Amino acid sequence: IAGITQAPTSQILAAGRRMTLRCTQDMRHNAMYWYRQDLGLGLRLIHYSNTAGTTGKGEVPDGYSVSRANTDDFPLTLASAVPSQTSVYFCASSEGRFTDTQYFGPGTRLTVL
Amino acid sequence: AQSVTQLGSHVSVSEGALVLLRCNYSSSVPPYLFWYVQYPNQGLQLLLKYTTGATLVKGINGFEAEFKKSETSFHLTKPSAHMSDAAEYFCAVSLDTGRRALTFGSGTRLQVQP
């Protein structure tokens, strides 16, 4: 079982370019999440989806968009990248209850120049 | 709004010594509390979690944590550190709200000296 896969592993991107980070899970989990990790700030929630077809905004949603067309995939799009979006991005999934464990992907390291 | 505070961004212990990583939370409703560990260049994995019931929770790799409501704390401990415990540790809280996501502390990097 692969769990959660993320692509690409790392990327260097010019400011102003559009970028989509991919996330796929094979656990048939209802809920999926995108976090960004920055030094000294821990992980912060960007967007979430409690079930296929629904999405919601997290703590830091500006400049990002998501879609959840099916259970397995939850892509994150940066419409026009800015240097402040340089970060490590983690996708996670869970069965969707408040007590459930979240399972994390290996992350995407994004550098915006 | 809920928040999580981890005291000490870096903790260094000797191999075989007690590990104590501190976590305090603020919440107006009963929280569900988690500790995650992140090894270098990897994603996060669950160490342990408190939902309801027994306040002393045991996790993987010999770690445990105690939920103390009166102190709003959920400190992580391990009696004897091993070199393989060197990693970053995150405390997180989940609340019974529509978002169903985690709010993380800023993390504590544990160094284990030989």
Residue ranges of chain B with pLDDT lower than 70? 1-2, 96-99
pLDDT in tens, A31-89: 999 999 998 889 999 999 999 999 999 999 999 999 999 999 999 999 999 999 999 99
What are the residue ranges of helices labelled H in chain B? none
Cα B58 → chain centroid: 12
Taking CA atoms, what residue in A is nearest to B37?
A: A104
Q: Note the pLDDT of residue A99.
A: 83
CB contact under 8 A, A105 and B107: no
Contacts of A42 in chain B (CB under 8 A): 4, 6, 90, 104-107
3-state SS assignment for residue B70? helix
**Confidence check: pLDDT of A1 > 60:** no
**Cα A42 → chain centroid:** 15
pLDDT per position as a tens digit, B53-69: 889 999 999 999 999 99
Q: Do A98 and B101 touch (CB under 8 A)?
A: no
| Res A73: pLDDT | 98
Nearest-neighbour CA in chain A from B48: distance (Å): 9
B106 at A interface, C-beta within 8 A: yes
Contact A110, A88 (CB under 8 A): yes
Burial class (CB in 10 A: 0-12, 13-18, 19+), A4: buried
With beta carbons less than 8 A apart as the criterion, state whether A104 and A94 touch. no
